[in-house]
């Protein structure tokens, strides 16, 4: 993983790795994940970066999914830290208002919330405003390592292209359905990724995610609109059966997910 991360920053020397959170949280973090140094930004004294992250998040998640300021402070910045990949604003595909070409902007960011289970974090928000360079996968991997996570849980939708990023961390083990209060519960699933094996993580990060119609042994493509089959998978997973979504997660036409049972 160190070589993969180093190669990314060698290709994109304009990018910088930063973290944004409460001052005292820095001591609990790995501020050189995979050997890449992190510039830690105390949110209380870096109002500009708080505003830039908030604007970037809202650019990707407008109403009704817009991030309220109090949630950003109380549930993002105070308990943990947001991983930021930054670059000159002119290189971003979507630029928040008020930034000049050479101003540093948020190119990609990831936030995972700490849980009461040691080593487990819950993925909350992944954004990318610079496409085509793998920024989303890089910042997610670096942030998880920075948080010293051994397991990442999260919620995803069967037909969401973000599955291609999530499976860059490894196979997604299905845990079961999502509580009904979630706005997209009917099309979502709860998953977990084991982050303890750096070799498997490296393989997932570097594996080509061009979806082949020929699945690996023991796996099959399941249509994302086959709701009965997908619900059955979740029920079986909740009952304890090992069921995984394998890289690349989602087919190129976004019509099927790659599933392995057992």
How far apart CA 112 and CA 255 sit, in angstroms, is: 28
Instruction: Please check whether residue 151 is in contact with residue 194, taking contact to mean a CB–CB distance below 8 angstroms.
Output: yes
**Axis crossing angle, helix 2-11 with helix 198-206, rounded to the nearest 10:** 40
**What are 219-239's pLDDT values in tens digits?**
999 999 999 999 999 999 999
Q: What is the 3-state secondary structure (H, E, C) of the chain?
A: CHHHHHHHHHHCCCCEEEEEECHHHHHHCCCCHHHCCCEEEECCCCHHHHHHHHHHHHHHCCCCCCCCHHHHHHHHHCCCEEEEEEEEHHHCCCCCCCCCCCCEEEEEEEEEEECCCCCEEEEEEEEECCCCCCHHHHHHHHHHHHCCCCEEEEEEECCCCCHHHHHHHCCEEEEECCCCCCCCHHHEEEEEEECCCHHHHHHHHHCCCCCCCCCCCCEEEEECCCHHHHHHHHHHHHCCCCEEEEEEEECCCCCEEEEEEC
Q: What is the pTM of this model?
A: 0.93
pLDDT in tens, 9-37: 999 999 999 999 999 999 999 999 999 99
Q: Quick one: 84 exposed, middle or buried, by C-beta within 10 A (0-12, 13-18, 19+)?
A: buried
Asked whether the CA dihedral 207, 210, 211, 215 is positive or negative, the reply is: negative
Least confident residue range of 20-24, 104-108, 181-185: 181-185
Top-ranked range on mean pLDDT: pick from 50-54, 96-100, 161-165: 50-54
């Amino acid at each position: 993983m160190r070589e993969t991360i180093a190669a990314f920053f060698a290709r994109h020397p304009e990018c910088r790795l930063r973290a944004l959170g409460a001052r005292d949280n820095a001591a609990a973090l790995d501020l050189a994940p995979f050997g890449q140094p992190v510039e830690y930004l105390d949110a209380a004294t870096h109002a500009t970066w708080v505003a830039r992250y908030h604007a970037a998040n809202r650019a990707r998640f407008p109403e009704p999914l817009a991030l309220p300021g109090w949630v950003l402070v109380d549930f993002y910045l105070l308990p943990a830290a947001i991983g930021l990949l930054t670059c000159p604003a002119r290189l971003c595909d979507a630029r928040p208002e008020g930034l000049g070409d050479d101003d540093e902007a948020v190119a990609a960011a990831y936030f995972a919330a700490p849980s009461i289970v040691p080593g487990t974090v819950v993925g909350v928000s992944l954004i990318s405003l610079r496409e085509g360079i793998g920024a989303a996968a890089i910042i997610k991997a670096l942030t998880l390592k920075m948080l010293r996570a051994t397991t990442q849980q999260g919620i995803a939708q069967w037909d969401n292209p973000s599955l291609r990023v999530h499976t860059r961390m490894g196979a997604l083990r299905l845990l079961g359905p999502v509580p009904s209060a979630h706005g997209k519960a009917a099309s979502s699933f709860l998953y977990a990724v084991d982050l303890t094996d750096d070799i498997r993580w490296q393989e997932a990060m570097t594996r080509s995610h061009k979806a082949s119609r020929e699945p690996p042994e023991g796996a099959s493509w399941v249509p994302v609109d086959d709701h009965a089959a997908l619900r059955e998978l979740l029920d079986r997973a909740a009952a304890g059966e090992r069921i995984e979504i394998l890289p690349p997660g989602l087919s190129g036409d976004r019509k099927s997910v790659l599933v392995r049972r057992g």
